[in-house]
Amino acid sequence: MRNLLPFLVLIAVASAFGNIQTQFDGPDEVELRLLEPAVVPDPVDGVSRWWYTPSQKAHIYRHKYPKNIQAQPRQGEDLRLPGDVLPRLYNVRLLPFIEVGNWTTDGYVEIFLDCIISTVNISMNSLDLTIDPASITVTEEQTGNPISVVDFIDEQSTREIITVQVSRPLTAGKQYKITMKFISILNALLAGFYRSSYVENGETKYLAVTQFEATDARRSFPCFDEPTMKANFTVTVGRKETWTSVSNMPLITTEPIVGMPGFVWDNYQTSVTMSSYLVAFMVSEFIGIPAEPGLSNVEFSIWARPDARNLTDYARNIGPRILEFFESYYNIDYPLPKQDMAAIPDFAAGAMENWGLITYREQYLLIDPSTATARAVQLAAVVSAHELAHQWFGNLVTMDWWNALWLNEGFASYMEYIGTDAVEPDFKMNDQFIIENLQYVFGIDALETSRPINIEVNTPAEINSMFDAISYEKGSCVIRMCADIIGLETFQRGLTRYLNDNAYGNAGQDNLWAALQTQADSENVILPATVKEIMDTWTFKMGFPYVTVIRNYQTGGAVVIQNRFLLRKSNDTTDPTVYQWWVPLTYTSDYTQTKQRDWLSVDEISKSLPNLGAAANQWVIFNVDQQNYYRVAYDATNYGLIRDQLIADHQRVSANNRAQLLDDAFNLALTELIPYADALDLTLYLKYEREYVPWHAVLSELNYVDIMLYNFAEFSNWKTHMTSLVEPYYNFIGFQETQSDPHLTKYCRIDAMNWACRLGVADCVQNSLSTYANLMSQPDNLAQIVSPNEKSTILRTAIEYGGQTEYDFAFNQYKTKEDTSFLVAMCASKQATVLSGLLEMLLDPNSGILRSDVNTVFNNVANNPIGNEIALDFLINRWDDIQNALGSVYFATWYRYVCTRQNTQAGLDKLIQLRDAHSVILGNSNSVKQGIQTVESNIQWVSLNLGEIGTWLAGNQPAKTISKVIRHQ
Ligand code: BES
Ligand code: ZN
């Protein structure tokens, strides 16, 4: 959520130095409220075009979309510390004044230094700190002799560095101590040592907590804020006697603060050797609730505001169990005596892996089992597993610079599946990997605006932009591929080797490849090139290939070809990269046999495989279980064989590969690499498909076709086709959720109901209407009547197929309970007057629609097939009124929303006219450019594919079905 920073007023630094009672006229609650995003662009119900359809996790890290940073070589290099003195031990003492009108922290730090290269300058990072130059002392450690300070150079506002100059050069090999006093501000930026708040019994309570990654430790105390400059940290924090504090390490002693009755110092044990970005502390009125002692060897507690005590059970149960699992997986004990996890009311990221004190957004740690969706519970487990995985991978061994952030985040994004699976096997996490991570990031990495996993970064802004889907999701895919190449167990032992070799130190990706290589060699794993040579092609080049397999049915062999997969090709010929990779080929014609392996080398565009081991009438499937990071295109005959197998007995093909076949085929058809008929042929078997993963994969693809066909005559046959596929799935899963449903059955039901109701399948519509009727008679029993998993579909369907009564009830619920899902449901109405009425209400501050929900309403109306044109006309005709009522912040975003469903020349003309009429606001916006590009490719899609799809649909209509479909009123 770093993208919120521009909304914040820059914080002035208190000028009166040295006085702990400094009055700071800093930002107050008003500013805190500005932390709410002004524009919330979460697509609802996945109706946006699929390559920016977010993964189910995307909302956690909106800030992680690739920014297409072009790191300029050398730029920012002067931001690096010289490295001639390095920290060994910090004693940090902080006394935060957590009071409206003060918000200052009194600080004192002692840093014990090793001089590596003789120098008179001691440079370290510092940002927004008021340092008392008179307080700075430097002494030689051995003798205790003071060394006089001759200058203090403050470059905080430019380089985030301060330099203390001493009278004579420090000697290489000797140790020194530097000390200073400073004041910092408990800011509202959610970075450094910052303030947060919550309401308890109507009263606003405040707390102070840290968020240091990536480069914000320097906002809290002067430090050597680079990941390789590891040291030990002894933290002391002051607090009111009645409050609590917590930090990375266990508390040792508490003592009164002399001269400040009612205040005490908490002295913490010295930490293990670690990077500054992992230091953490919190001062609050929170309570710490210990987990059952039997669950792990390590003392484990969950910290939260007292009101949330009852929501900590889930975390207290899975946290220690995941920790135990990782100890055995890594084969390395957790090195600290305790692990705390804290739920923070205002938190920028999703969670943060501070060593021994993991901090979370409340929603990822505090779970109410009676109202949480299956998705929310899964997220809580996954986020915990992710952060606990970092305790080894990231904390014990840290990347040597931020260019290799993917080692931290890609690895944790891989381990979060394994760690969650260990404690919640019912979640079937390993089945979900390909849809959550792999197929999701394919959509981003297939654009020319993607980036290589490992790129040079220097400035804090560049560093922060690395926290994106490429580091996380692509990183995790590449690691999973590597594990498959050398074998899971060899990989696991190789990791232990890597962690032991580099414990309490730093490493780059070459160190990981070297450890895996040594392990592979010692276990006689044969590879066609070194692990490094293979993996470098995947980490230093952006994008990924599609492999075309052209079988020779006479010889039993095939030609395989690699090409970069791009969703759109520009004519950019300036990129000199040869987009070829070391491609691990795996294939099978029979899943009961071990898969066959071969390679395309980085120098080979294509090669012949003499014998696939399949008869001419047998199918062959490549990229077994989609373990590797590429798509596969087949010749028409092989597609036919696969289609026939799926129809005859789809279980003979693994669920992962069924999902892959569908996802690949629709993407290859979209980019004109195979005919749509081949992709659509593969859907025929779906009337027998009952599993979540293949269904979820294909529905996000079919959604695009659905949007494109909506206004054409072909839609009727499309709807019949879709109904013939979805209805058996829906009937199998059923409307009613039960307690004993497996986790993925709940997920299946969400998809099946969503589509069945949307297609008007009678059972789904009627059940939704009667459930809603029940709710109308007992509005306060929502949780008992409507499963949280089914809520959005039931509400939406009741509005879609119901009348005024249903609508009025929804509006009433929204207004009285502030439950936005009712408002979202209202936007699903199929009546034009209702939809335009909703848009009109956005202009009226007294309409009952909260200002914070204005964007949600427009987005949902624009995504509604009936509402889309209404939304466009609203933008065109009511421009001035919108501007008067809401200002200009929404225009570009709303323009973009409207474009998703537009696919005609007439629509494009209207949109261009609108842009030109308001060129000051819309002319230079990237959202507007993206929107126009989307409409252009939609139009092109229609002209290229509508005919072919229409013909296919006409020739593949299901025999007149028994299905009963309900029409809109
Ligand atoms: N190290 C990150 C937290 C972080 C993110 C710090 C961005 C600084 C900038 C943490 O391990 C993480 O990845 N958190 C995720 C949640 C996770 C489950 C994907 C996040 O915050 O989005
Ligand atoms: Zn992480």
Tell me the pLDDT tens digit for each residue of 395-446. 999 999 999 999 999 999 999 999 999 999 999 999 999 999 999 999 999 9
> Taking a C-beta distance cutoff of 8 angstroms, is the pair 904, 939 a contact?
yes
Residue, of 50 and 660, whose pLDDT is higher: 660
Which token pair is 116? 């590596």
> Taking a C-beta distance cutoff of 8 angstroms, is the pair 101, 25 a contact?
yes
CA distance 821 to 836: 19
Peptide bond into 412 cis (omega under 30): no
pLDDT bracket for residue 56 (50, 70, 90) = very low
Ligand 2 centroid–CA 352 distance in Å is 7
Ligand nearest to the CA of residue 383, numbered in listed order:
1
Q: Atom 15 of ligand 1 has which residue's CA nearest to it?
A: 350
pLDDT digit string (tens) for 664-683? 999 999 999 999 999 999 99
Lowest mean pLDDT among 31-40, 280-289, 522-531: 31-40
Q: Which atom of ligand 1 is nearest to the CA of 57?
A: 19
Which pLDDT belongs to residue 369?
A: 84
Give the full edge-to-edge strand order of the sheet including 557-564: 606-609, 557-564, 545-552, 631-634
Question: Chain-centre distance of CA 558, in angstroms?
Answer: 39
Q: How many CB atoms sit inside 10 A of residue 845's CB?
A: 12
Ligand nearest to the CA of residue 381, numbered in listed order:
1
Ligand 1 centroid–CA 918 distance in Å is 38
pLDDT digit string (tens) for 757-788? 999 999 999 999 999 999 999 999 999 999 99
Nearest to 109 by CA among 78, 85, 131, 80: 131
Say if ligand 1 is within 6 A of residue 353 CB: yes
CA distance 89 to 92: 10
pLDDT digit string (tens) for 101-113? 999 999 999 999 9
Which pLDDT belongs to residue 575?
A: 87
What is the arithmetic mean of pLDDT over 595-614? 97
pLDDT digit string (tens) for 204-229? 999 999 999 999 999 999 999 999 99
Q: Atom 8 of ligand 1 has which residue's CA nearest to it?
A: 213
Nearest to 666 by CA among 629, 708, 728, 624: 708
DSSP 3-state of 465: coil
Which pLDDT belongs to residue 795?
A: 98
Catalytically annotated residue among 160, 324, 387, 416: 387
Residue with tokens 């494109």: 708
Say if ligand 1 is within 6 A of residue 61 CB: yes
pLDDT digit string (tens) for 535-568? 999 999 999 999 999 999 999 999 999 999 999 8
pLDDT bracket for residue 571 (50, 70, 90) = confident
Q: Which atom of ligand 1 is nearest to the CA of 214?
A: 8
Ligand 2 centroid–CA 400 distance in Å is 16
What is the arithmetic mean of pLDDT over 196-207? 98
Residue with tokens 């009101």: 307
- Average pLDDT of the chain is 91
Ligand 1 centroid–CA 480 distance in Å is 20
The whole-model pTM stands at 0.91
Q: List residues, by chain if needed, whose CB lies under 5 Å from ion ligand 2.
A: 409, 412
Say if ligand 1 is within 6 A of residue 655 CB: no
CA distance 96 to 207: 10
Lowest mean pLDDT among 403-417, 742-756, 852-866, 954-968: 954-968
Which token pair is 856? 């949600």
pLDDT bracket for residue 61 (50, 70, 90) = very low
Catalytic residue status for 387: yes
pLDDT bracket for residue 17 (50, 70, 90) = very low
Strand 606-609 versus strand 149-155 pairing type: unpaired
φ and ψ of 609, to 5 deg: -105, 115
Ligand 1 centroid–CA 329 distance in Å is 22
Which pLDDT belongs to residue 967?
A: 62
CA distance 630 to 481: 10
CA distance 910 to 765: 36
What is the arithmetic mean of pLDDT over 688-715? 97
Q: Atom 21 of ligand 1 has which residue's CA nearest to it?
A: 350
Say if ligand 1 is within 6 A of residue 383 CB: yes
pLDDT digit string (tens) for 620-631? 999 999 999 999
Which pLDDT belongs to residue 965?
A: 65
Which token pair is 562? 């690699």
CA distance 418 to 696: 21
Say if ligand 1 is within 6 A of residue 302 CB: no
Q: Which atom of ligand 1 is nearest to the CA of 409?
A: 13
pLDDT digit string (tens) for 145-184? 999 999 999 999 999 999 999 999 999 999 999 999 999 9
Say if ligand 1 is within 6 A of residue 358 CB: no
Nearest to 704 by CA among 863, 871, 474: 863
CA distance 124 to 126: 7
Ligand nearest to the CA of residue 3, numbered in listed order:
1
Helix (H) or strand (E) holding 854, with range, is helix 854-863
Ligand 2 centroid–CA 950 distance in Å is 46
Is residue 162 packed enough to be buried (19+ CB in 10 Å), middle (13-18) or exposed (0-12)?
A: buried
CA distance 157 to 929: 35
Which pLDDT belongs to residue 9?
A: 24
φ and ψ of 627, to 5 deg: -75, -25
Say if ligand 1 is within 6 A of residue 643 CB: no
Q: Give the Cα-Cα-Cα angle 448, 446, 945 (nearest 5 degrees).
A: 105
**What percent of the chain has a predicted confidence (pLDDT) above 70?**
91
